[in-house]
Each structure stands twice: as C-alpha cells, then as structure tokens.
Amino acid sequence: MEKEFRFLNLSLPARLVLAGGLYALGASLELFLRLPLIVGGVFAVLGWFPLMLKGVSNRPDDQGLEEWRPVTMAEIDRLDDGLRASKKLKAKVFSPRALLIFLIVVPLVIILWIVGAWTGRGDLAFIAFHGAFFSVPALFFGRVSVFVPSDIALKMPCFRVLGSQDLPEGLVLAPYLRFDKDKKGGDVPEDLRFLLEKKRGPADLVGVQLQAAINKGPNGPVPYLYAVVLTKGKDGPSHAAASRLRPRGYEVEAGGDGDYGTVVIRQKTTGTGYHTEPSDCQNLFSLCQAFLLDL
C-alpha cells in the first residue's frame, strides 16, 4: 500500500535519512556543545514532519442522500460479508498487542526520566528524553480508523433470519437497500428493509414491509424488527383485513392516508429498549406470511 505523507514530496528512504539526520543533529549539539535538552527536542520535532503519515479511514464521505433501491439477496450477503470483515479488521487494528506496546513504552520512558533526574544520571535522562521524541511518529502518526456502520450492522442479524427462511408457494421476499453517495459518486449502503409480497394478491395490496429501528437498550443500542402492511388507500379489503388482526403478543396500529394505507404490526413492549431476538424475528415473519396467505 502506498504511504501518504502530509508534508514534502520525497521518497521513503529520503524521508528516513532527513528525519534521522535531524534527530542526530539535535542529539549531537546537546552532547558536544552542552546545550540543554530542549534544543534536541526542537530538532526532533522538525524530524517528525518528514515522517508524518496521514490517517487512514474507510469512512465514506456521504452526501446526505436517501435512495431506496431493490437489490438481490446476493447483494445483501455481500454487504453482510463486508460488515463482518470490517468488524474483524477493527478488532485487529485496535488489538491488545498495540495497546500493550504503548503501555510499555510510555511508562519506561517516564521511569528512566525520573531515575535519571533523581540520581543525577544525565545519560538516563538523555535516553528517556530522546526515546520519547523518537517514538512519537510510530505511536501517533498514520493511525488507522476502521468504520463500521453501526445501525445497519445492528439490524443485519434480524434480516439474516428472514433471508434464511423457506417461503411458501405464492410469496416473494424482495430486499431493499437505502443508498447514499460518496464524493466520487459511489454507492454507500446505509439501511435495509425487506418487502414480502403475494404473487396474486388483492388489487389494493402492496405487500408487508419488514423494517427495523434501533432502540436504546440497558446495555446499548439494540435492533427492533416490526412489520408494516402497505396498501393502496385505506378502503380496500387488504387494509381492512390487516386492521382486524389481533395476534397474541402484538400491537396493531392502522393508519395512512387516501393514497397509501399502513398497518403496523409490532410486538408489545414494556419499555423503550425492547430487543427483538432472532426467534422474535422468525415469529413475526411467520405471522406476516400467514396473513398474506389468508388474503
């Protein structure tokens, strides 16, 4: 991977030579001219500039657009694979090994500095001082930030359950993704939902949309899957049939307007942080299938 540096148009060997020369010059002035350590610090800071890497992140520069498009299940699988890979990379980047190195280097430098100052050992103070300055580029420059879209990652387990179910004859499950755009015009998936449709349903029926919200649970954000029966208007048989539903353990809320009718089917909850587990998602999906087959 090509390294991107913030300053100077130089090759990597030239950068290393320049930085090393500045470090050596500062240390030499201190040793031979008996100058204070701060002089070497100034040259060490100058030596940081050739080695100053840009930070790396996979976070897209989204443009605030919202475009829902139908996709294939294969694209959902690719998105899921990408989320898994990003989580693994994030865990690798922020590994205990990197933290351990930091926790060893920093206390070691501090201990050497204290011991040198306490015992009058100028050589220890010299080593600690320059070791601290020399470690800065390795510890703090060019940090890697791995972005995992939290909302879609939280919702994905719910939709994996839906996509793994066998559908009865006459029903079709269509996945949809909401896309934004990055600065280069590339697609950035930000949300997902599924539409369960009946091949030969009533004229007023659009389908049952399965979507997820993010609730604030006691231990952090959690997904909450619910269903919305979509109809053309509110006066047709599909809207009426959905409004009459009274499944045990669920709440049914009819709404909409003259153009599009909606009937929300969601699990009864006792608080604001309810979490739909995989079994809850499967039960809701079975309820939606039974409703469509009875129309």
CB contact at 8 A, 268 and 248:
no
Question: Residue 265: pLDDT above 90?
Answer: yes
CA atoms within 13 A on the CB side of 193: 19
pLDDT at 154 over 90: no
Instruction: Report the C-alpha gap between 156 and 14 in whole angstroms.
Output: 47
Integer CA distances (angstroms), 194 to 9, 42, 178, in order: 50, 60, 11
Q: Which range among 38-42, 268-272, 277-281 has the greatest average pLDDT?
A: 277-281
Whether 136 and 52 have beta carbons less than 8 Å apart is answered as no
Q: CA dist 151 to 80, 83, 192, 280, Å?
A: 13, 11, 10, 19
Higher pLDDT, 38 or 266: 266
69 close to 179: Cβ distance less than 8 angstroms = yes
Distance of alpha carbon 174 from alpha carbon 162, whole angstroms:
11
Say if residues 224 and 286 touch (Cβ distance below 8 Å).
Answer: no
Q: Is the dihedral of CA 263, 265, 270, 275 positive or negative?
A: negative
Q: Write the pLDDT tens digit of every residue in 66-105.
A: 789 999 999 999 888 877 877 776 666 655 555 666 676 6
What are the structural domain ranges in the chain? 12-145, 150-294
Can you give the pLDDT at residue 273? 66
pLDDT above 90 for 6: no
Residue 274 DSSP class: -
Looking at residue 121, its amino acid is R
Please determine, for residue 256, whether its predicted confidence score (pLDDT) is greater than 80.
yes
Residues whose CB falls within 8 Å of the CB of residue 97, separated by 6 or more in sequence, listed in order: none
Average pLDDT over residues 59-71: 76
- Please state the pTM of the whole predicted model: 0.68
Report which of 92, 102, 110 is spatially closest to residue 140, judged by C-alpha positions. Answer: 102
Tokens of 238: 């599909």
Largest CA distance in the chain: 95
> What percent of the chain stands above pLDDT 70?
78
> Which residues lie below 8 Å from residue 119, measured CB to CB, with a gap of 6+?
none
For 54, which DSSP code?
A: P
Question: What tens digit of pLDDT does each residue of 68-77 get?
Answer: 999 999 999 9
Contact (CB, 8 A) for 19 and 48 = yes
Residue type for 40, please?
G
Contacts by 19-25 with C-beta closer than 8 Å and gap 24+? 19/47, 19/48, 19/50, 19/51, 19/137, 20/47, 21/47, 22/46, 22/47, 23/47, 23/130, 23/133, 23/134
Least Cα distance to 93 among 136, 140, 143, 54 occurs for 143
